[in-house]
């Protein structure tokens, strides 16, 4: 019985890796140096001193297989590593290709404005979108950090 389970798991992993090789949408170069997650986009929506963050990403073929077998909860340490420079991060949801979280006290109140100091990410994101409380948006390509900014 154990041999059947091992063979089944090996076939599933092999099929996933083969499918990833055939898929022309995956660029293997983006997963070099042990980085198994590639952040396609990140949206930071400011609300007073806090922010809601939505991340869209894709995983290396091996990470996809691992997540298929063991679940997305195993991505939590990597998501925490991406936001290690932020003080209070609460992960709300982690999925196969996206995650949502809340960052508390991302900005400081100064008079009638909120001031946000730049913070580095643990990875580079293709597109970072900052959404201010008044609805204005700012996009930054190939972002490695947030921008110094202020808002009401």
Per-residue pLDDT of 65-90, as tens digits, reads 777 778 777 888 889 999 999 999 99
CA-CA distance, 123 to 142, in Å (whole number)?
10
In a domain, 5, yes or no: no
Q: How far is CA 151 from the centre of its chain?
A: 24
Helix (H, G, I), strand (E, B) or coil at 149: strand
Q: Which two tokens stand for residue 115?
A: 């001031």
Share of the chain above pLDDT 90, in %: 55
- The answer on pLDDT for 34 being more than 50 is no
The model's pTM is 0.77
In a domain, 68, yes or no: yes
The size of the chain, in residues, is 152
In a domain, 9, yes or no: no
Question: CB of 64 within 8 A of CB of 26?
Answer: no
How many structural domains does the chain have?
1
In a domain, 25, yes or no: no
In a domain, 84, yes or no: yes
């Amino acid at each position: 019985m154990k041999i059947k389970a091992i063979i089944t798991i090996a076939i599933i992993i092999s099929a996933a890796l083969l499918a990833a090789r055939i898929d022309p949408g995956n660029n293997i170069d983006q997963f070099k140096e042990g980085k198994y997650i590639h952040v396609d986009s990140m949206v930071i929506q400011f609300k007073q001193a806090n922010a809601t963050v939505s991340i869209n990403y894709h995983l290396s073929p091996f990470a996809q297989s691992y997540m298929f077998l063991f679940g997305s909860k195993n991505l939590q340490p990597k998501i925490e590593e991406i936001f290690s420079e932020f003080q209070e991060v609460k992960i709300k949801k982690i999925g196969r290709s996206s995650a949502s979280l809340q960052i508390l006290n991302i900005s400081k109140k100064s008079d009638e404005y909120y001031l946000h100091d730049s913070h580095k990410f643990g990875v580079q994101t293709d597109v970072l979108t900052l959404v201010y409380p008044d609805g204005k948006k700012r996009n930054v390509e190939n972002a490695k950090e947030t921008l110094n900014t202020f808002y009401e």
